[in-house]
Amino acid sequence: MIIKPKVRGFICTTAHPDGCRAIVKEQIDYIKSQPHANGPKKVLVIGASMGYGLASRITAAYSFGAATLGVIFDKPASGARTASSGWYNTAAFESFAHEDGLYAKTVNGDAYSQEIKDKVISIIKNDLGKVDMVVYSLAAPRRTMADGTTYTSVLKTVGEPYTNKTIDLKNRVVSNITVEPATEDEIAATVKVMGGEDWKAWIDALKEADAIESDAVTVAYSYIGPDITHPMYADGSIGKAKDDLFAASKQITADGIKAYISVNKALVTQSSAAIPIVPLYISILYKVMKAHGVHEGCIEQMYRLMNQKLYCGDPVVDSENRIRLDDLEMQDEIQSEVNGLWSTITSENLDTHADLEGYYEDFYRLFGFGAKGIDYDAETDPEVTIDL
Ligand code: NAD
């Protein structure tokens, strides 16, 4: 079939296998081109098919030569539907890793479930013995518990409604949006889905099965951002979940495995595209960071995390023991320029105030569109297999 993007709201329902493959290759080539530290050798990545998790997997494999086991929740192609981009990314990563003589296996299923934890542990025991790093990079809209109860996360404020600018990306219109506060139940559900309970459950399960080294490191990702996004993010329902993730890092560490929160940069991913207000902030941030020559994508961030923050002697952390990959984003000169543009941005001056093209480019690339050297008018076979 000829595969073109079909965008509905903030997701694209198609993905391009050759484009995803080319974009995974670009990330691998970036890591290959960089000097590397001495890092872990057997790495479990939970949420490994897109965004920060995929970049973590690529970095571990190609900076350190690590064996990687990925947990993904993706769909193969079926009938007229393409596979999800995470499926194509994973198929591509595995084929490159195997060509390069690296162990790479993937488990496709719900990371929250005991069944998938058991399956992963049995693969670790059979193939790797023990892992020495666990990356927890899930971004999920819901979580179903063993008893069938499903919790759904929300992206709302806590306490008061919040009004600020947002962008309708389809029509390129800037307007005001009011985000309503979450109910107590919604906050609790968001914490269930995106908080630290499942991260800790994974580490406990690995410990119980003797499938994790005692000096292993585990990392999960968070975001803080500037004041304009705080009511929506850091102080909102997702922020409550991130507080819980941070608390879990302390508990996991107290229980014997060193756990870190890495505070990452705001980037276009399938998850961040869904948050009101944040995409407009991201498109202004891209403009400013690119102008200052300090823009990074997921792969540059994960390269720095592993090679310059985590595995370079003592981890480089802030006063609260968090790794700060948002250091460049939060620089005063970057934030004051972003603020100036934010206060004056309208639909009319979008092109001078924001990098909308950069935003769209990254958005389409999430689904394999816009990669160099791919003929998007060519017949393409959507069926791609992963050796699960
Ligand atoms: P993403 O949507 O690109 O990736 C999420 C991954 O989780 C995908 O591989 C998806 O398949 C997987 N996943 C979702 N539900 C799953 C399930 N039930 N079982 C197994 N796998 C599942 O998201 P991302 O933006 O890379 O986010 C990863 C983490 O980074 C999140 O904790 C997020 O809050 C954090 N973070 C993101 C940003 C940002 O701007 N994007 C910034 C800082 C921190």
Tens digits of residue pLDDT in 275-290: 888 999 999 999 999 9
Burial 237-250 (b: 16+ CB within 10 A, else e): bbbbbbbbbbebbe
CB atoms within 10 A of CB 126: 8
For ligand 1, which residues put their CB under 6 angstroms from it?
47-53, 71-74, 86, 110-112, 137-140, 221-223, 264, 266-267, 269-272
Asked if the model's pLDDT at residue 354 lies above 90, the reply is: yes
Decide if 192 is inside a domain. yes
CB atoms within 10 A of CB 29: 13
Decide if 377 is inside a domain. no
How far does CA 321 lie from the centroid of its chain? 21
Q: What is the pLDDT of residues 72-109, one digit of tens each?
A: 999 999 999 999 999 999 999 999 999 999 999 999 99
Decide if 253 is inside a domain. yes
Spatial CA neighbour of 355 closest among 301, 283, 266: 283
Band the pLDDT of 11: cuts 50, 70, 90. confident
Active site residues: 233
Q: Are 123 and 107 in contact (CB under 8 A)?
A: yes
Decide if 131 is inside a domain. yes
Q: Which residue has the tokens 């892992």?
A: 131
Mean local confidence (pLDDT), 315-331: 97
Decide if 1 is inside a domain. no
- C-alpha pair distances (Å), 303 with each of 2, 75, 188: 34, 28, 34
Tokens of 11: 């997701």
| pLDDT value at residue 171 | 87
Residue from 75, 84, 229, 269 to probe ligand 1 pocket by mutation (most atoms less than 8 Å from CB)? 269
**Whole-model pTM over 0.75:** yes
Mean local confidence (pLDDT), 323-342: 98
Asked if the model's pLDDT at residue 170 lies above 90, the reply is: no
Decide if 50 is inside a domain. yes
Instruction: Decide: helix, strand or coil at residue 136.
Output: strand
| pLDDT value at residue 100 | 98
Tokens of 377: 């008018």
The closest residue, in CA terms, to atom 42 on ligand 1 is: 266
Residue from 45, 237, 271 to probe ligand 1 pocket by mutation (most atoms less than 8 Å from CB)? 271
Burial 76-104 (b: 16+ CB within 10 A, else e): bbeeeebbbbbbbbbbbbbbbbeeeebbb
How far does CA 113 lie from the centroid of its chain? 20
The DSSP result for 253-313, as a single string, is HHTTSEEEEEEPPP---TTGGGSSSHHHHHHHHHHHHHHTT----HHHHHHHIIIIIISSS
Decide if 132 is inside a domain. yes
* Number of residues that this document lists for the chain: 388
Question: Which CATH number fits the domain that encloses residue 129?
Answer: 3.40.50.720
What is the count of structural domains for the chain? 1
Decide if 304 is inside a domain. yes
Segments forming the whole domain that contains residue 346: 7-365
